[in-house]
Amino acid sequence: MVYCSGFLRPTSYERKDLHRVAWPYANGPLHLGHVAGAYLPADIFARYHRTKGDEVLMVSGSDQHGTPITIKAEQEGKKPGDIAAKYHQEFLECWQKLGISWDLFTRTGTANHARSLRISS
């Protein structure tokens, strides 16, 4: 333990980090801008903290609500839920191919997501 500014602090301390990453609309395939602009940097940052021994929780998911999904569904003559499910599955396959690891990659249509919104509001 080290005495610092009136507090005792451990000499080797473990951080607990929550990495909340952007939620892409599930209305089309991911592209390089998504990966390079949001998901690869987040994965690198999380891996760095894990190698330091920090406890990391990296979460994101597919945004299954919104105008972009409704428009895509109308264009393809499908239900918005079907479009969202299709692209959510594509996202999961993309993360696996790229080696991007999530502690949780979910979707906005789950009961857990609805409960968490009620708790935070």
Q: What is the CA radius of gyration of the chain?
A: 18
Lowest mean pLDDT among 23-32, 47-56, 94-103, 105-114: 105-114
Per cent of the chain over pLDDT 90 is 69
The predicted structure's pLDDT at residue 2: 38
Q: Which residues contact 2 (CB under 8 A, 6 or more apart)?
A: 8, 9, 10, 11
**Separation of alpha carbons 21 and 57, rounded Å:** 11
pLDDT above 50 for 60: yes
**Separation of alpha carbons 50 and 77, rounded Å:** 44
pLDDT above 90 for 46: yes
Alpha-carbon dihedral sign for residues 37, 45, 23, 31:
positive
- Higher-confidence residue of 47 and 4: namely 47
Average pLDDT over residues 57-73: 94
**Separation of alpha carbons 9 and 56, rounded Å:** 20
The predicted structure's pLDDT at residue 7: 46
Q: Chain-wide mean pLDDT for the chain?
A: 87
The predicted structure's pLDDT at residue 113: 79
What is the value of pTM for the model shown?
0.80
pLDDT above 60 for 75: yes
pLDDT above 70 for 118: yes
